[in-house]
Amino acid sequence: MKHFLGVWDISSNDIKRLFSIALDLECYLNMSHSDSVQATLSPRWEKLMGTLFLEPSTRTRISFEVAMKRMGGDVVSVADGKSCSKEKGESLEDTIRTMSQYVDLLIVRANEAHGCWGQKNFACPVINGGDGGNEHPTQALVDAFTIWKCFNTLSDLNVAFVGDLFNGRTVHSLARLLVRERRNNFYLLGEPELPHTYFFDTTSKKSVTKEEFLDILPNIDVLYMTRMQSERGTKGGPPFVLGKNIVDRMHRDAIVMHPLPRLQELPRCIDDNHRAVYFDQVKNGVPVRMALIRWLFEKW
Ligand code: NCD
């Protein structure tokens, strides 16, 4: 049985295959106003997905639920930790184990960073929808798909991660995914810093000051902004606030990404810039998660 608890659970080759499936699915979704396409896309599928979300979520939970419904399956949802027995003191491991008995696939957003997967005593495939300040591997797939569509590759890129690098789980998972590709360079702007363990090849990673960051900005291909995670104890404002004139110093094909929700680090005045792709990331969430569900159930 396959699970997807971290990006290490899928090979680099399978990721590329998943992306080409997601591209096809995206085409279908774009045409889905046509009844005949809708019928092909979602014949009834006797699979039931559970979503167990113990932290707030807009994009991850809804895009998973939409993905499953577009594929013709059904969904049961715990959208709030207060409405399940975890509130009575049940361990997360037992709650996951219990829910996995009822469904064919379970998406879990946990409020614990490490070890919540226990002995992996799950009765169905489980997907990590974000575990505390640790990992968010499906967001990494969505982000990588967005990058791949823009650059036609996941290699030879200069990537800057800016914001809460210590507690920002989307950064952790995307760094782990991109570090496996070839000749990517990473520039980090944020305090406290991203734990060293996310980068195997230390020569490709450089922590930069705000001044150094502004100097290298014209060479950056992917600028990945994140919010400060105050709910995880991060104090203070963002290390950098993006401005209109700053984005204009990036090269023409560079992109500005953000997993959202955004706070003051990414003002709305950037939204009209052609480099802003964060709402494309949002949209890509559905086809990528549909393709991931197929990967879980199919032999590749
Ligand atoms: C992120 C998350 O939940 O980690 N959002 C998302 O899933 N798109 C980012 C965040 O909360 O800052």
- pLDDT digit string (tens) for the chain, length 300 residues: 999 999 999 999 999 999 999 999 999 898 866 666 565 666 788 999 999 999 999 999 999 999 999 999 999 999 988 888 888 889 888 999 999 999 999 999 998 876 678 888 899 999 999 999 999 999 999 999 999 999 999 999 999 999 999 999 999 999 999 999 999 999 999 977 776 667 766 678 889 999 999 999 999 999 999 999 999 989 899 999 999 999 999 999 999 999 999 999 999 999 999 999 999 999 999 999 999 999 999 988
Give residue ranges with CB within 6 A of ligand 1.
59-60, 130, 136, 139, 169-170, 226-227, 259-260
Residue 60 among the catalytic residues: yes
Residues 6+ apart with CB under 8 A from 233: 167
- Give, for ligand 1, the residue of 55, 60, 111, 134 to mutate: max count of ligand atoms closer than 8 Å to Cβ: 60
Residues 6+ apart with CB under 8 A from 103: 48, 49, 50, 76, 124
Cβ atoms of 125 and 296 closer than 8 Å: yes
- pTM > 0.85: yes or no: yes
Map residue 205 onto helix, strand or coil.
Answer: strand
Query: Which member of 33, 82, 88, 252 is catalytic?
Result: 88
CA of 183 to the centre of ligand 1 (A): 27
First to last CA, the chain: 13
